[in-house]
Structure 1
Amino acid sequence: MSDAHQTIDAAVKGHDVMLFMKGTKQFPQCGFSGQVVQILDYLGVDYQTMNVLEDDAVRSGIKDYSNWPTIPQLYVKGEFVGGCDIVREMFQAGELQEHLSNAGVPTRDAAA
């Protein structure tokens, strides 16, 4: 399990925006992961993903890492933001865009 923890920690700390999801950006394999991908793509965010379906240790390890029971999980600048529902609600309220901006993560001005 420590290898999975190291893999997760390196991914979270090594990328400004990191999404742990089921599937890939190009082919999400669950609706919740797909929704977060759509939001990030809509905002034009540069982000990396890790497909938890490829590694059972990462799939269970990410839940321990964040103390959050579901996937997908979004991290910005090493900080856990939330899962699909939280990301969607933040996006709809404009809070996700503000959070990304405050973290120095460029987004497309979707409101313009």
Structure 2
Amino acid sequence: MTDARTRIDEIVNGSDVVLFMKGTALFPQCGFSSRAIAILDHTGVKFDTIDVLQDAEIRQGIKEYSDWPTIPQLYVKGEFVGGSDIMMEMFEAGELQQMFTEQQVAKAE
């Protein structure tokens, strides 16, 4: 897990917004990942995605890293935010957009 943890640390801290998901932003491989992408697209922020289906070590390691059993997982400025349900609740309440503004997250180009 140490190698995977180091890699995850670098990914999480290497970008303002990172979504660990099943599939890619263009081709999500599950409904929850698709919803998470739609939410992020709607906010207009710049984000990176990691396809956990391409790397079994990352797929298992991210669950241990966050102590969260499901994917997708959203990280903002190195902090775990939650999965698609939490993202949806925060988005609907305006909290996700507020967090992005407060954290000075860059807009997508």
The Cα RMSD (Å) is 1.1
Count, aligned residues: 108
SS at match of 1:19: strand
Deviation string, structure 1 residues 77-109 (Cα, Å, up to 9, x no partner) = 00000001000000000000001111111458x
Residue of structure 1 equivalent to 2:18: 18
Deviation string, structure 1 residues 33-77 (Cα, Å, up to 9, x no partner) = 000100111111100010000111100100000010100000000
Do the aligned partners of 1:101 and 1:107 also contact (CA within 8 Å) in 2?
no
Residue of structure 2 equivalent to 1:88: 88
- Which TM-score applies when normalising by structure 2? 0.95
Do the aligned partners of 1:12 and 1:18 also contact (CA within 8 Å) in 2?
yes
- Which TM-score applies when normalising by structure 1? 0.93
Residue of structure 2 equivalent to 1:46: 46
Runs of 5+ unmatched residues, structure 1: none
Structure 2 distance, partners of 1:16, 1:73, is 14
Runs of 5+ unmatched residues, structure 2: none
SS at match of 1:27: coil
Residue of structure 1 equivalent to 2:65: 65
One-letter code aligned to 1:85: D
**Shift >2 Å, 4+ stretches:** none
Tell me the percent identity: 59
